[in-house]
Amino acid sequence: MGEGAKFFFKSLFQNKAAFLGLVIIIFVFALALGADFIAPYDASYQDRESFLLPPSWEEGGSSKYLLGTDPIGRDLLSRIIHGSRYSIFIGVSVVSLSLIIGIIGGVIAGYFGGMIDFVIMRLMDILLAFPSLLLALVIASILGPGLVNAAIAITVVQLPHFIRLTRAEVMQHKTKEYYTATKVIGASKIRLMFITLLPNCFSPLIVQGTLNFSNAILDAAALGFLGLGAQPPTPEWGTMLADAREFVLSAWWVVTFPGLAILITVMAINVFGDGLRDILDPKLRKS
Amino acid sequence: MLRIRNLSVYFQTIKGTFAAVNNFDLDLKQGEIVSIVGESGSGKSVCMLALMGLLSKNSIIKYDEISFEGKNILQLKDSQRRSYLGAKMSMIFQEPISSLNPCFRVGDQVAEVFRFHQGDSKKAAQDKTIDLFTQVGIADAKHRYRDYPHQLSGGMNQRVMIAMAIALKPKVLIADEPTTALDVTIQAQILNLLNDIRDKYNMALILITHDMGVVAMMADRVVTLYRGQQVEISDKEQLFSNPKHPYTVDLLASLPEEAKGKRLNSITGVIPPLHEIFTGCIYAPRCKFAVPECQKPIKMKSAGKNHLYRCIR
Amino acid sequence: MFKVISKNLLLMIPTLLGIVIISFSFIRVIPGDPVIALSGERAMTPERYDELMHEFGLDLPLHEQFFSYLGDVVSGDFGKSIATRRPVVEEFFTLFPATVELSLCALFLAIVIGIPVGMVSALKKGKLVDNLLMGVSLIGYSMPIFWWGLLMIVFFSGYLGWLPVSGRISTQFFIEAKTGFLLIDSLLSGEEGAFLSTIRHLTLPGIVLSTIPLVVIARQTRSAMVEILDEDYIRTAYAKGLSKFRVVGIHALRNALIIVITVIGLQIGILLAGAILTESIFSWPGIGKWMVDSIYRRDYPAVQGGLLFISLIVMTINFIVDFTYALINPKLRK
């Protein structure tokens, strides 16, 4: 393990909040991977005897259903555990897609500058002129509702952040000596762009990626809530909340727990992202 | 007028508590210029910031006596202490541009002193400020009043800082490396200005510097500081003609004027870090004359009238 | 400063054109036939189809279609809603005040609470108060606000029964819309209890919508303040003998505000996005809910017009923010 990695993990252990965040993230990933074995019931299993059963510790609750049941007798806990898959899926796919496209676009804009840069940046300006959720909504309505389309819509919305960030980093590093040195020995454009410049721009991109992971989860849940993301009976957390809306005044648990799952996951990622930024961003790193 | 005995300043950090200044003594008479000399990191700014109450919260200040016109200003209530700061005792800093607030007109920043301490009306404070600007050599004072710090040169900004500091005719002006950040041509102008002001108001000037040239030009007395410890206190003439402590000797030898025709002297080595604890002489590791006895605690010795030094030789 | 503004204005032109192109393409890329999408008529004879095709100009070549659309937009014609058969512009301006009222209240809350919270946090950096405030702000920052809205309803409307669940005012009142802002209209109407009812209806959505901007403003104020309190000129201010209140509240705050105002400006887009969710949850009759409803109803002309309108508003506000920034930052003057 290199010096950098050692420093990284040491700092991570010292930042208790970030470390706790990482533990929760790993836990949610484990839930998503092992949902079939961990969840007590299948996500679509219906107990026709027990509609809207409160959590087990409440009066009228049953020990069979820890967090209670939903309006058609499905176990809330099992649905939340299965739901972690969709949030993780959205987060991973949106961030990796927008990272890949964003890096390529950003490196090209930053490296070539001039007209290419101008066109790419104006395109990004156009995307940024729309409130993000509205744009995602409209794209989702064009593509039709569904989880994959939601992922595409959110990727488009988040793309400008990655492109702008990569471009800014590339332009900054283009002024450094090591770049000039590599250029002078006659390295190819592709090499200059992706092997010389790019690795030096990774730190802020990783931080941005982490923070956008949580945004993606929030946006996907919001789309689900508005009926344009995952469709019922998918146990996606936002979709579950949309289903539960009419019981908001009569059965608090169907509204509370899926949201709590979103909050905890998003918070864990944000704390971890903040910690990562403190460790990786040399501008903020205290000597 | 100002008397300091045994001032020590400690900083608490994650790595432990360090002494930045040890047992600092100072006597200041009206109208004199005392220079505090030392390399960067020697604690010369720290003891003056401690006196002004401007150190960060992680500092601990200990002393036997601090008295300014018979009062211990560090033990006054906050509101009373503030009535001294900027009025009877004021300070100017190394970086004039960053020491002025970028969001306010320079004139208003000076006028604020009149308004805050004396309750002057806006108009009165403005007139006094413009008058003051002219005194410190700012041409076209009326228009400069309305400028922002970034629109003025470093030298101009330092003149503004000086105007701000002398606005209420303080008894003591502390100048922390006032010319270090300025062009050489401007440096002499600013030093002359400080000298004129001292003569005019008969105020005492504490001049913090690392530049022996500045000391030669300005000081009446000199305090040499090495890593938080006073190593020599003396009148200027005696110090230059008969320096006692090897550190002072080395400092003087590194002046270009002293090296006519010879190679310019430089002191080898660096100041030892603050967490290293010394029982004896702190300069020993870099000293040409170091002997085993240097490891024992060393008291200040007298070398004549008004001349103290800390060395076994 | 003039240079900055004119450069920004010039850069807006390609962006504006891009926005119009996107909204023009929108109706042509949605699934299904644009004639059906624009007319909302499902079953029609081929004659009627051709008639509509001609009416919408869809029989022209694409570039002519675009220029005629551009002409319409410039002259203020943003199309006609299928659901109401009214011009989108008209719809928009009836509903817009409701959104503005809600957003302004939320922004007001966010600023009035966010800036002091950030300042206190910065002054007490590393202390318990700071950790507590930043911990709470992290929760707010991570909050799915639609869920937050539901929780508020569960607690304040369901459990405590204190506040209404939806709408802008109790149905017993009939307030004449003079300004469109109910806070003002209800006062003007002189009806007893109308103003109070408006406030009660505004409270929950206002709090929910203010959450994210509040947290962002608090965090940014804190980080700006922390940096500024370390600056040389703050030391100078203390050396002048100024009180802590004056140093922090005037010398530091003025510098922090330059940064925070930009942040506040950037919140406008977030507010409009948040309004979509908040208005849906609280059935608030504003443009956010109208956009969502239009999407549900497949009222594509309304969506198209609304999209264009909202982005124009966001751009205008961004421009104003840039302008204000140049105005209040002495370094950018002259």
Amino acid C250: pLDDT: 92
Look at A262 and C146 and tell me if their CB atoms are within 8 Å.
Answer: no
CB < 8 Å from B in window 155-184 of C: none
Amino acid A211: pLDDT: 87
Domain residue limits at A100: 56-262
Mean pLDDT of chain C: 87
User: Is A257 inside a domain boundary?
Assistant: yes
Mean pLDDT of chain A: 87
Smallest CA-to-CA distance from B193 within B156, B162, B154 is with B162
Residue indicated by tokens 């029982």: B279
- Burial group, residue C66, by CB count within 10 angstroms (0-12, 13-18, 19+): middle
Domain tally for chain A? 1
The C-alpha of C75 sits at a distance from chain B's nearest C-alpha, in angstroms, of: 43
User: Is A200 inside a domain boundary?
Assistant: yes
What would the two tokens of residue B70 be? 């018979």
Amino acid A236: pLDDT: 92
Look at A226 and C29 and tell me if their CB atoms are within 8 Å.
Answer: no
Smallest CA-to-CA distance from B218 within B249, B168, B173, B182 is with B173
The C-alpha of C284 sits at a distance from chain B's nearest C-alpha, in angstroms, of: 42
pLDDT in tens, A36-91: 888 888 888 888 887 888 888 888 777 888 888 888 888 889 999 999 999 999 99
pTM (2 d.p.): 0.86
Query: What is the C-alpha to C-alpha distance for residues A234 and A220, in angstroms, rounded to an integer?
Result: 13
What would the two tokens of residue B180 be? 């270090």
Nearest CA in chain A to C144: A218
Query: What is the C-alpha to C-alpha distance for residues A138 and B59, in angstroms, rounded to an integer?
Result: 58
Amino acid B259: pLDDT: 58
pLDDT tens, chain B, 313 aa long:
899 999 999 988 877 888 889 889 999 999 999 999 988 778 889 999 999 988 888 899 999 999 998 889 888 888 899 999 989 999 999 899 999 999 999 999 999 999 999 999 999 999 999 999 999 999 999 999 999 999 999 999 999 999 999 999 999 999 999 988 888 888 999 999 999 999 999 999 999 998 888 898 899 999 999 888 899 999 988 888 888 898 888 888 877 766 566 666 677 777 787 777 778 888 888 888 888 888 888 888 888 888 999 988 7
Instruction: Tell me the chain B residues in contact with residue C244 when contact means C-beta distances shorter than 8 Å.
Output: 78
| CA distance from start to end of chain C | 6
The top-scoring range by mean pLDDT among A1-10, A102-111, A177-186 is A102-111
Look at C273 and A134 and tell me if their CB atoms are within 8 Å.
Answer: yes
User: Is A21 inside a domain boundary?
Assistant: no
Query: Residues of chain C with pLDDT > 70: what percent?
Result: 99
Strands (E), chain B: 2-13, 16-28, 33-37, 59-62, 65-68, 89-92, 172-176, 204-209, 221-226, 229-235, 301-302, 307-309
ipTM attached to this prediction: 0.89
Whether B164 contacts B172, CB under 8 Å: no
Look at A122 and C11 and tell me if their CB atoms are within 8 Å.
Answer: yes
Between residues B96 and A190, the one the model is more confident about: B96
What is the torsional sign of CA B215, B218, B223, B227? negative
User: Is A36 inside a domain boundary?
Assistant: no
Domain of A83, CATH number, reads: 1.10.3720.10
- Burial group, residue B56, by CB count within 10 angstroms (0-12, 13-18, 19+): exposed
Q: DSSP assignment of C105-156, as one string?
A: HHHHHHHHHHHHHHHHHHHTTTSHHHHHHHHHHHHHHT--HHHHHHHHIIII
The C-alpha of C50 sits at a distance from chain A's nearest C-alpha, in angstroms, of: 25
Look at C26 and A125 and tell me if their CB atoms are within 8 Å.
Answer: no
User: Is A216 inside a domain boundary?
Assistant: yes
Q: Which of A20, A117, A128, A134 to mutate to test the interface with C (most CBs of C within 10 A)?
A: A134
Q: DSSP assignment of B279-309, as one string?
A: SS-SSGGG-TT--GGGGS----EE-STTEEE
**For residue A284, pLDDT beyond 60:** no
User: Is A108 inside a domain boundary?
Assistant: yes
Band of the pLDDT at C2, cuts 50, 70, 90?
confident
Question: How many CA atoms are closer than 13 Å to the CA of A188, on its beta-carbon side?
Answer: 4
Domains observed in chain C: 32-77 (no CATH), 89-145+209-333 (1.10.3720.10)
Subunits in contact with chain C (3 or more CB pairs closer than 8 Å): A, B
Tell me if chain B has a CB within 8 Å of the CB of C235.
Answer: yes
CB < 8 Å from C in window 144-163 of B: 148, 150-151, 161
Whether B156 contacts B176, CB under 8 Å: no
Smallest CA-to-CA distance from B132 within B148, B110, B106, B153 is with B110
The C-alpha of B233 sits at a distance from chain C's nearest C-alpha, in angstroms, of: 27
Nearest CA in chain B to C331: B150
Look at C158 and A270 and tell me if their CB atoms are within 8 Å.
Answer: no
Amino acid C1: pLDDT: 66
pLDDT in tens, C318-330: 888 888 877 787 7
The C-alpha of A195 sits at a distance from chain C's nearest C-alpha, in angstroms, of: 32
User: Is A215 inside a domain boundary?
Assistant: yes
Amino acid A286: pLDDT: 39
Smallest CA-to-CA distance from B155 within B136, B127, B172, B174 is with B136
Amino acid B118: pLDDT: 92
Amino acid C248: pLDDT: 93
**For residue A283, pLDDT beyond 60:** no
What would the two tokens of residue C112 be? 């009035």
Instruction: Tell me the chain B residues in contact with residue C256 when contact means C-beta distances shorter than 8 Å.
Output: none
Subunits in contact with chain A (3 or more CB pairs closer than 8 Å): C
Look at C236 and B93 and tell me if their CB atoms are within 8 Å.
Answer: yes
Look at C242 and B116 and tell me if their CB atoms are within 8 Å.
Answer: yes
DSSP annotation of C87 reads B
Instruction: Tell me the chain C residues in contact with residue B83 when contact means C-beta distances shorter than 8 Å.
Output: 241
Look at B101 and C236 and tell me if their CB atoms are within 8 Å.
Answer: yes
Query: What is the C-alpha to C-alpha distance for residues B288 and B290, in angstroms, rounded to an integer?
Result: 6
One-letter identity of residue B287? C
User: Is A240 inside a domain boundary?
Assistant: yes
Please state, as a whole number, how many other Cβ atoms lie within 10 Å of the Cβ of residue B303. 16
* Gyration radius (Cα) of chain B, Å: 20
Band of the pLDDT at C169, cuts 50, 70, 90?
confident
Mean pLDDT along residues C125-154:
92
Smallest CA-to-CA distance from C85 within C38, C24, C135 is with C38
Tell me if chain C has a CB within 8 Å of the CB of B216.
Answer: no
